[in-house]
Structure 1
Amino acid sequence: MDASRFVDSPFGAPAKEPGNKWAFTYYLPKPVPRQIDLNSRVVAELSEADAALGHLQGLGLLITDPGLLIGPYLRREALASSRIEGTQASLSDVFQAEIDASSINDDTSEVQRYLEATNQAYELATTLPITQRLILQVHATLMEGVRGEEKSPGEFRRTPVWVGRAGATPETATFVPPLPAHLGELLADWERFVNDDGRAMPALVQAALMHYQFETIHPFLDGNGGIGRLLINLLLMERGRLPLPLLYLSHYFETHRDEYYDRLQAVREQGAIEAWLIFFLRAVHAQANDAVARSRKLVQIRETFHSEAIKERSSLPRLVDVIVRNPFVTVKSVETRLELTNQGARNLIKNAEARGWLRSLGAHGQGGRELWYSPAIFNVMEMPMTYNGDAYPENTQAGEV
């Protein structure tokens, strides 16, 4: 790490310990600032992000069955967060892997692991504050399996790490996080900031600083980004800004990946906190509007399908909820979810197919089972959407999977 690129700022400075066995330059963060002077540009972005988050918060309170919407959003977030870390998978891959074990591969397994870790985090957060204990438990789940087996799941690192191009050394790395000896003190300060000291500042500013500091401390050998991103929703829920985990920033971070990393690095190198805050607040603004648009459209489609389904004395209304949660189905998955006979599940799918709700994709997987999907629902989850306060696009035409 080139120390000449770094200044001594309120957020940290380069350090070196010649007598240490790891005698290379690293970055030593300072305690998280408890007060930030916001310039007019940041205040303007904060106002817009707060308003967008308020719309999402209000929508979350009005949804009668939030579980139907949380599932699809969780999958989008898990996929985007995993992609940032290099996972190669599509949203359709993730949905198909959930209903057909033969579709599971290393990439979809990592996305599923992120889903499990996220669900665990939300469950733990109902009884625990955001603490090191919670983080360690969630990290153990996230890193169990495919790529995490040798990365000390559920343990803070005991050795140095560095970030840079493949083959980089501590001397050539872009960023060398603090040495292990500093982690205890830094994490204790971070925990105090999250739970007590940071509450005097706006929740979104606190969330931005929390995420920056966690990524900079880099407490794990691997999985820091995934944990750091899922903590954002936890904090906003704990601060009362979200009733449900409906805000997912990873898609924005993935789309603007280079800027995401550059803004974090600029705080370390130059103390450029305003640029990071603006980037973070724009992400909140964009993704809150995105979530509102998708939520409204999914609710509209569900209500339309339900209004038709209730005219029949069958399990058709229950099938609607199944495909809202996962728009891909097989006869076996419907049979299992709705506790039907094989023929009953097949008849139900054919009924939905005749109505245009489902479309066959032919035989898939090792067993050659026929796979169906709902173009209307899948497109709402997959296609770009915008929300301007009172309208949203009609992205319900059949698309390619």
Structure 2
Amino acid sequence: MIWSPHRVETRNWQPSRRQGSRADRTLDHIDVSIPPMISRTQCDLSGSVALAHEEAIIAVVRLESGFGKHLAPLSDFLLRSESVASSKIEHIDAGWRAFGKAFAGGKSNAEAQSQLAAVHALAAMVDAASVGPITGDNITTAHRLLMAPDFYTARNSGTVRDVQNWIGGSDYTPIDALYVPPPPEIVPELMADLLAFANRTDVPILVQAAIAHAQFESIHPFTDGNGRIGRALISAILRRRGLTERVTVPLASVMLANTDRYFDRLTAYRAGDADEFVEYVAHAATVSSYAAQDSAQALAELPEYWRAIARPRANSADAAIIDALLDTPILNADTASRITGTTDASTYRALARLTEAGLLEVLTASKRNQIWAATAVLAELDALSLTIGKRSLPQQSVQPKDGSLR
């Protein structure tokens, strides 16, 4: 593809407060990066990029058709996996036990609340994209959900920035920054152009998703949360174009496996090499889709494994909980009682037996307001991320023993 590089402009700089080093305090001009307008750009593929795009489409379709339509719990599982991995790229990692407590409404730390907020933000983006075009309101709503757990960031959430931001360098000024996004006064125009591109129907799907993500990160429209919202935009475009109907492709795990490579590809995009970033995202979609098929198979086999271990009586509370664990891997006593339809005492005994058998783990230290988790389901979140990381060889296809593309 022929793609325009970002241009660099020098702008005056007036710090709001005199802080930092002498260089910070005396800085009077900065170089900002101005992304090109992309809404009408041609996106013709050829060579290795076209092949990578085709392989990715096949991989996503196989995941969707093979498991998305037949294993309902996979939808929530993959959405959580993508959100958690996207948060980890931003160095937010609570661990699945803390995340489980937050998910069930228990007391949890700030990182767990932030990861849960990322799940809500991604779900909002994907759900909105399934019923209509992607709008600025969709993006700002998702941003408000993402920032909600933090009182200070929540106050400025849901609106595009009106200040200059930057990546890396000093805490006080853009001096020595790795990247300085466009000035705030042109962000609304750039976002309108990006949304026009994201809603086109004449662009190859993964090209559209990759370019929209790279452009969003270049615009950096918010003061915080740009990475997670930008990665959610990829999933939203796949849903809007109909490539996915239920599953969320967990490609953030590829980015997490080698963040340097991910950021290098974004830098190449800003230099005008859109092909390289498209090929990178296509490869990520291929690797993560096939790894997700393995996780789907592992999840599908769990109920039979659980029944073999616990040996529940037919129509018992134990059996009812086991049958619901894939759909509800994290539960409190109220949720368990609704599942069993029995007395609280009977439900607690069932939970105790399943915990003793190793199917469940108690996530809370207190005897009050306990939360249980199906350890095998939550552990599979980590297993999927690790599998994707091992398979994330740069621009290579992994061939399984049966010869099909993996």
Give the TM-score range, shorter chain: 0.7 to 0.9
Name 1:70's counterpart in structure 2: 75
Q: 1:325 to 1:61 in 2, by over 3 A?
A: closer
Question: Match for 1:315: what amino acid?
Answer: A
Name 1:365's counterpart in structure 2: 365
Name 2:33's counterpart in structure 1: 27
Q: How far 1:338 moved relative to its partner?
A: 4.3
Q: Secondary structure at the match of 1:297?
A: helix
Q: 1:371 to 1:112 in 2, by over 3 A?
A: closer
Q: Does 1:192 align with 2:199?
A: no
Range with greater deviation from structure 2 (147-156 or 12-21): 12-21
Q: How far 1:272 moved relative to its partner?
A: 2.3
Q: Secondary structure at the match of 1:16?
A: strand
Q: Does 1:13 align with 2:7?
A: yes
| Pairs within 5 Å for 1:268-279 | 268=270, 270-279=271-280
Q: How far 1:30 moved relative to its partner?
A: 0.6
Q: Secondary structure at the match of 1:36?
A: coil
Q: 1:159 to 1:378 in 2, by over 3 A?
A: closer
Q: Does 1:238 align with 2:230?
A: no
Determine the C-alpha separation between the residues in 2 that align with 1:107 and 1:60: 31
Gaps of 5+ in 2: 16-27, 389-397
Range with greater deviation from structure 2 (120-129 or 272-281): 120-129
Q: Does 1:50 align with 2:57?
A: yes
Q: How far 1:286 moved relative to its partner?
A: 1.0
Q: 1:364 to 1:141 in 2, by over 3 A?
A: closer
1:118 to 100, 109, 122: 122
Range with greater deviation from structure 2 (208-217 or 312-321): 312-321
Range with greater deviation from structure 2 (290-299 or 334-343): 334-343
Determine the C-alpha separation between the residues in 2 that align with 1:218 and 1:87: 19
Q: How far 1:326 moved relative to its partner?
A: 4.8
* Residue identity (%): 25
Determine the C-alpha separation between the residues in 1 that align with 2:13 and 2:169: 27
Name 2:288's counterpart in structure 1: 287
| Pairs within 5 Å for 1:1-400 | 10-17=4-11, 23-32=29-38, 34-60=41-67, 62-63=69-70, 66=72, 68-99=73-104, 101-102=106-107, 104-146=108-150, 149=153, 152-167=156-171, 169-196=173-200, 199-268=201-270, 270-302=271-303, 305=306, 312-329=314-331, 331=333, 334-335=336-337, 338=340, 340-353=342-355, 356=357, 358-360=359-361, 364-367=364-367, 373-383=373-383, 384-385=386-387
Name 1:5's counterpart in structure 2: none
Question: Match for 2:326: what amino acid?
Answer: V
Determine the C-alpha separation between the residues in 2 that align with 1:264 and 1:194: 18
- What TM-score do you get using the length of structure 2 for normalisation? 0.82
Determine the C-alpha separation between the residues in 2 that align with 1:148 and 1:44: 46
Name 2:393's counterpart in structure 1: none
Q: How far 1:58 moved relative to its partner?
A: 1.1
Q: Is the 8 A contact 1:328 1:374 kept in 2?
A: yes
Question: Match for 2:4: what amino acid?
Answer: P
Q: Is the 8 A contact 2:163 2:183 kept in 1?
A: yes
CA RMSD of aligned residues (A): 3.1
Q: Is the 8 A contact 2:332 2:369 kept in 1?
A: yes
Gaps of 5+ in 1: 1-7, 392-401
Determine the C-alpha separation between the residues in 1 that align with 2:324 and 2:282: 34
Question: Match for 2:184: what amino acid?
Answer: P
Aligned residues: 376
Q: 1:326 to 1:137 in 2, by over 3 A?
A: same
Determine the C-alpha separation between the residues in 1 that align with 2:370 and 2:186: 55
Q: How far 1:113 moved relative to its partner?
A: 1.1
